[in-house]
Chain A
Amino acid sequence: MSQATAYRPATPGPLAETTSTPESEQCPISLQNMTTTDSLISVQTLGWFARHELTLFWRDWLMTMSAGKRGRGRAIAIGLAIFVVLLHALAYAMLAPAFKSGVGADKATFVMISGSLALSFFMMLSQTLESVTRAFYARADLELILSSPASSRHVFALRIAAIVLTSAAMAMLLAAPFIHLAALLDGWRWLSAYPVMIAMSAVATAVSIMVTIGLFRTIGPKRTRLAAQIIAAIVGASFLIGI
């Protein structure tokens, strides 16, 4: 157990001494210190919940990458490193000639960058639609969390933030080599693409939440996930066709 929180429950344990009243005459519960307004999970402990979510995400990802087989960590790391190097090489091959001849604020550059951003956005939208549906309606731990005194508002806010970050991270996996090479060849200002991608991911997540809630209200919870998956597949296919 590594996470310390300052909170101490208002209710004593079953064996805790509560009053001088004979035990047989008590309902073993104390109501002192109970508030009626706020929940236990505060902003301070959001970090704890974020760590939990990250742990689950990381282990799920590792399990997916290793196909459930142990001892594949090194192979995955090597594979990823090769992938990253190859992407950087590809980015260099594509960007070096362009920057050599000089990149200006012209129409062609604008179209290329806007097109890339639009494609990234559709990829994010596809991913966040699925993630939002899962986070809001399909995650099996919702029952546990919602039956606890933890603030559901905070839990969902954190899950939405996690969706924003993971969606941005997936897009960055492909975009990062291009951003790095652009920054290397033409100046550090290209690094501003990172916050732009996070902002785009936030917008995609917001759109996904609106779509998901709209679906939930119109076609009901059972069909929402299927509909969201179909929409996500169409959007994802559009992304691939766009490439």
Chain B
Amino acid sequence: MPSAVPFSTPALQLKSLCKSFDQPAVDHLSLSVRAGELYALLGPNGAGKTTSLRMVAGLLTPDAGEIHVCNIDARNAPIDAKRVMAWVPDEPLIYDRLSAFEYLEFVAGLWGIDAQRAEARAHELVDLLGLEDKAHLRCQGLSRGMRQKVVLAGALIHEPRLIILDEPLSGLDAASARQVKQVLRDHVARGVTVILTTHILEVAERMADRIGVIADGRLIAQGTLDELRRQASGALPGAGRHGELGHGASLEDVFLKLVAVESQAA
């Protein structure tokens, strides 16, 4: 019997993660994302969200720190970590000269999925994302929304345990965005962990189980929306008092408050 990892095991754990280019982009970032939750990582432009996630995806080498993906040390066993996750960048690649099915076949091949299983899964995902009519057409003729859905199907084809999406809803029309959100929710309901970055705060507010706010490469707040409200209001011990936010304050209010406090402190 395969050994199972307790549900309480974090799907992603970062410890003191650091990365500098000309200046520090990620500065001792530590965070923990529980298995089976939808986690939104928010932050202003240049806060280090994408850099952090690219390190998790194995595309950048950290200067220091630890990355654990479902209990796998991703720095020491990157291949094992990559097997269980999927990375969808903000401007994902799609081969114009391949059809959606051919693209899915290729991605399945990269993850070493056997042909029969990949085909069944591709049909399932194409149906799920409403791509039936377009699945055999070359991707060059697809709209941005369609292409985004094809990429999402590619990310799901190997049934990852952790899906990381960088701005997954940017440029999508309302219908496509709703479909993508539903697919992500369904996967979370089935125990998959989803981490996404977004500038659309309403999306994070409505979808995320927990939210992390990052600024200057550091995690400045984390929790449910209520917890963030309390942190922003300075209600949590040690948080300081920077002005009250009402109980019904939106994530936008909370986010702006947290970032403003952080920039003042810096």
Chain A residues with a Cβ under 8 A of chain B: 1-15, 18-21, 23-36, 38-41, 45, 48-49, 52, 55-56, 59-60, 63, 140-141, 143-150
Restricting to B164-220, which residues have a CB under 8 Å from any CB of A? 187, 190-192
Task: Assess A36 versus B76: contact at CB under 8 Å? Given A27-B11, A56-B97.
Answer: yes
Restricting to B78-125, which residues have a CB under 8 Å from any CB of A? 79-80, 82-84, 86-87, 89, 92-93, 95, 97-98, 101-102, 105-119, 122
On whether the beta carbons of A5 and B7 are closer than 8 Å, the reply is no
23 chain-A/chain-B pairs, Cβ below 8 angstroms: A6-B114, A11-B83, A12-B159, A13-B159, A14-B159, A14-B192, A18-B2, A20-B1, A27-B9, A27-B35, A28-B35, A29-B5, A29-B71, A34-B77, A34-B80, A40-B79, A40-B83, A55-B102, A141-B95, A143-B87, A144-B93, A145-B110, A147-B58
On whether the beta carbons of B109 and A5 are closer than 8 Å, the reply is yes
On whether the beta carbons of B190 and A11 are closer than 8 Å, the reply is no
What is the CA–CA distance of A195 and B166 in the complex, to the nearest angstrom? 47
B45 lies within 8 A of chain A by Cβ: no
On whether the beta carbons of A14 and B2 are closer than 8 Å, the reply is no
On whether the beta carbons of A32 and B112 are closer than 8 Å, the reply is no
Chain B residues with a Cβ under 8 A of chain A: 1-9, 11, 35-36, 57-59, 70-72, 76-77, 79-80, 82-84, 86-87, 89, 92-93, 95, 97-98, 101-102, 105-119, 122, 154, 158-159, 161, 187, 190-192
How far in angstroms is the closest Cβ of chain B from A10? 7
The total of Cβ contacts below 8 Å across the A-B interface reads: 173
How far in angstroms is the closest Cβ of chain B from A118? 35
Residues of A within 8 A of B159 (CB): 9, 11-14
Task: Assess A140 versus B190: contact at CB under 8 Å? Given A36-B77, A41-B110.
Answer: no
Residue A143 contacts which of B59, B82, B192 (CB distance < 8 angstroms)?
B59
On whether the beta carbons of B93 and A140 are closer than 8 Å, the reply is yes
Task: Assess A147 versus B115: contact at CB under 8 Å? Given A27-B11, A34-B83.
Answer: no
On whether the beta carbons of A1 and B97 are closer than 8 Å, the reply is no
On whether the beta carbons of B112 and A45 are closer than 8 Å, the reply is yes
The 7 nearest A-B residue pairs measured at CB: A30-B2, A40-B112, A7-B112, A148-B110, A59-B97, A27-B35, A1-B119
Task: Assess A28 versus B191: contact at CB under 8 Å? Given A1-B108, A11-B84, A19-B2.
Answer: yes
What is the CA–CA distance of A199 and B110 in the complex, to the nearest angstrom? 30
What is the CA–CA distance of A146 and B110 in the complex, to the nearest angstrom? 10
- State the main secondary structure of chain B at its contact with A: loop
What is the CA–CA distance of A25 and B9 in the complex, to the nearest angstrom? 10
What is the CA–CA distance of A108 and B221 in the complex, to the nearest angstrom? 79
How far in angstroms is the closest Cβ of chain B from A7? 4
How far in angstroms is the closest Cβ of chain A from B196? 16
Residues of A within 8 A of B87 (CB): 143, 147
Residues of A within 8 A of B1 (CB): 18-20
Task: Assess A5 versus B4: contact at CB under 8 Å? Given A11-B84, A29-B84.
Answer: no
Most A CB within 10 A of own CB, among B79, B87, B102, B117: B79
Q: List 17 extra interface pairs beyond A27-B5, A63-B97, CB under 8 A.
A: A4-B115, A6-B114, A9-B159, A11-B159, A12-B159, A26-B7, A27-B71, A32-B2, A41-B110, A45-B109, A56-B95, A56-B98, A59-B98, A141-B93, A144-B93, A147-B58, A148-B111
On whether the beta carbons of A9 and B83 are closer than 8 Å, the reply is yes
Residues of A within 8 A of B98 (CB): 55-56, 59
Residues of A within 8 A of B71 (CB): 27, 29, 31
What is the CA–CA distance of A27 and B162 in the complex, to the nearest angstrom? 11
